[in-house]
Amino acid sequence: MTGRMSPSQPISGTQPAAWVPPTIANIEATGLTLSYLADLILKHLYFAGEMVATKVADAVKLPLIGVVDGALDSLKKDKLIEVKGAVSGIGDTGTRYAIVGEGVRRARELLDRSQYAGPAPVTLEAYINSVKMQNRTRIYASPELMKKALGHLVISEKMYSKIGPAVNSGKSIFLYGKPGNGKTTIAEAVGKVILGADMWIPYAIDVDGQVIRVYDNVNHVVLEDSTGEAAQAGRPTGVKRDPRWLRVRRPVIVVGGELTLAGLDLIYDPINKFYEAPYQLKCNGGMFLIDDFGRQQARPRDLLNRWIVPLEKGYDYLTLATGRKIEIPFNVLIVFSTNIDPADLVDEAFLRRIRHKIEVGDPSPQEFVEIFKRVCEMKRVAYDENGLKYLIQEHYLKKERAFRSVHPRDILDQLLDIARYLNRQPKLDRDLLDMACDSYFVQL
C-alpha cells in the first residue's frame, strides 16, 4: 500500500495488468530444492501414514506432474517410502504411498528441526517481488470512490476532503477525537473499499530453510479463483498458476490494547520451530489499524519509534531467532485511532512523522438528526420528528450533553429492549425515550 503517487502515475484510466502467481512446471520453478520438497512430503506422510499421490500434491500445494512426482520418486529410490497399491481407475495419480521404517527415522530427525508440515513455502525473493508488483495496481481514492466507501455514514464534505488524500498517501493516518464518533468505522470502511478488491499472498515463506507462516484464516478472507485468470495473465487456457498462493481480499487488520512490540517482529515457536508472521507482514498491501492507541502496554513513543523506518523508507526489518535480520517491503497503510488527546500521548516532533492528522469530531445537530433517521429505518422504528425533538431538548440541551454519532444506534437498541420487555410497539414515545436514556447514559 505504501509508495507515493508520482506525477506519471494515473489515478484513473488504464491500470497495469494485475499480478498473478507464475506457472509451475518443474521443481526448479518452485525455487526449492528436490531434497527440501522431499523432506516436506516425508513429514506429511509421517503424520498421515499413507497418502494417495494427488493428496500429497494437495497437501504441499504444488503440481503433481513434474514437481511432486519427482520428489516421490526420490523418496522411493532412497527407500524412505513404498508403493502400497493404487486407487482403481485413476492411473498413476492414484498411487498410494506409505512411509517405511527408515522413512520414519528420517522424518523424526526432520521434525526435531522443524515441525512445519504445511503447504510448500515460496522463496523470500518471490514474495518481495509479488509485493512490489501488486503495489503497482493499488487503487487510489477519488471523491466517487470515497462516497462508495463511506456513503452509508453521515460525514461532512470537509471530512471527505481530509480522508481521501490521507488514504492516497499510503503512509499513515492519525484519527483522534471523542469516543463514539466512528473513527474505527471510518477506517475499516475505507480499508475494505479503497485498498482494492484482492491480492495474492503465499501460505508461507522460506528463508534459508526457516519457514515463516503468512496465511491465517482469521485475518485473511480467501476468494475463489476467477475463471478468467489464465486469459488475463496472457497464459494458455488450462495452464494453472502456482497453487502455493491464495487470492484474498486486501487485508484490514485491527488490533487494540493487546498489541505489544514483540508482536511486531517474527514470532518464533520454540516447540514447533517455525515462525508466525507479524501483523504488518500479514497485512502487507492492506491496512493496519491500531485502535485505542495509547492504551497498549508499550509506550506510544516506543510504538511510533517502531514505525519510523518502515514509514519513511518503505521497508521493514524482521529478526530471525538466529539474530539475522531480513528486509521486507512495507506497503502498509497504518492508521492510529485514539480517544486520548494527542498532546497527552506524544510530543509535536513525533506527530510530525505521521503524515495526516484528522480529528473526528462530534456530529452537528443536522448530522445527528440524519443519523437518527437512518438508524430508525435500519431498525424498523417509525421516525417521529416530535419524539426526536423531545429527546434532544430533554436529554441533550437541558443536560448540556454533546452529540455522539453512536448515540442513535445505542439509544434505539435500549428502546427496543424496553419495548420488547413491556410488550409494546417500539416507537419514539417520550416514556420509552426517557427509560432508554436513563439506562444508557451515566452521569459523570
Cell of 152: 452509508
**Helices (DSSP H) in 268-381: which residue ranges?**
279-282, 300-313, 348-352, 365-379
Q: Reduce the DSSP state of residue 112 to 3 states and report it.
A: helix
User: Do residues 248 and 198 lie in contact, with contact meaning Cβ atoms separated by under 8 Å?
Assistant: yes
Residue partners of 216: CB distance under 8 A and separation at least 6: 276, 282
Q: What is the Cα gyration radius of the chain?
A: 27
Q: Reduce the DSSP state of residue 110 to 3 states and report it.
A: helix
> Which residue is listed with cell 522413512?
103
What pLDDT score was predicted for residue 235? 43
Sign of CA dihedral 405, 406, 409, 412: negative
So where are the chain's domains?
33-119, 124-359, 365-440
Give domain 365-440's CATH architecture.
Orthogonal Bundle (1.10)
User: Do residues 371 and 363 lie in contact, with contact meaning Cβ atoms separated by under 8 Å?
Assistant: yes
- Tens digits of per-residue pLDDT, 161-200? 898 888 888 788 899 999 999 998 888 888 777 666 688 9
Residue partners of 416: CB distance under 8 A and separation at least 6: 379, 381, 426
Length of the chain: 444
What pLDDT score was predicted for residue 129? 94
- Tens digits of per-residue pLDDT, 338-388? 998 888 887 777 788 788 899 999 999 999 999 999 999 999 999 999 999
- pLDDT per residue, tens digit, the chain (444 aa), is 333 333 333 333 344 567 899 999 999 999 999 999 999 999 999 999 999 999 999 999 999 999 999 999 999 999 999 998 876 555 567 899 999 999 999 999 999 999 999 999 999 999 999 998 888 766 778 888 888 888 888 988 899 889 888 888 878 889 999 999 999 888 888 877 766 668 899 999 999 899 999 999 999 999 876 433 433 344 444 447 899 999 998 899 999 989 999 889 999 999 999 999 999 999 998 889 999 998 888 888 888 888 888 988 889 999 998 889 999 999 888 999 999 888 888 777 778 878 889 999 999 999 999 999 999 999 999 999 999 999 999 999 999 999 999 999 999 999 999 999 999 999 999 999 999 999 999 875
> Alpha carbon of 298 to those of 260, 263, 302, 333: distances in Å?
6, 11, 7, 21
By CB atoms closer than 10 A (0-12, 13-18, 19+), residue 163 is buried
- The Cα–Cα gap between 223 and 251 comes to 12
What pLDDT score was predicted for residue 170? 79
Query: pTM score > 0.95 for this model?
Result: no
Question: Which CATH code fits 33-119?
Answer: 1.10.10.10
Q: What is the DSSP string of 148-176?
A: HHHTTS---HHHHHHHHHHHHHTSEEEEE
Residue partners of 329: CB distance under 8 A and separation at least 6: 128, 131, 132, 135, 284, 314, 315, 316
What pLDDT score was predicted for residue 297? 86
- The residue type found at 76 is K
Which helix (H) or strand (E) element contains residue 85? Answer: strand 81-86
Q: Reduce the DSSP state of residue 69 to 3 states and report it.
A: helix
What pLDDT score was predicted for residue 241? 86
- Tens digits of per-residue pLDDT, 66-89? 999 999 999 999 999 999 887 655
Which one, of 380, 374, 442, lies nearest residue 415 by Cα? 380
Question: Which CATH code fits 124-359?
Answer: 3.40.50.300
Half-sphere exposure of 343 (CA within 13 A, CB side): 0
User: Do residues 62 and 40 lie in contact, with contact meaning Cβ atoms separated by under 8 Å?
Assistant: no
> Which residue is listed with cell 503512509?
171
User: Do residues 64 and 54 lie in contact, with contact meaning Cβ atoms separated by under 8 Å?
Assistant: yes
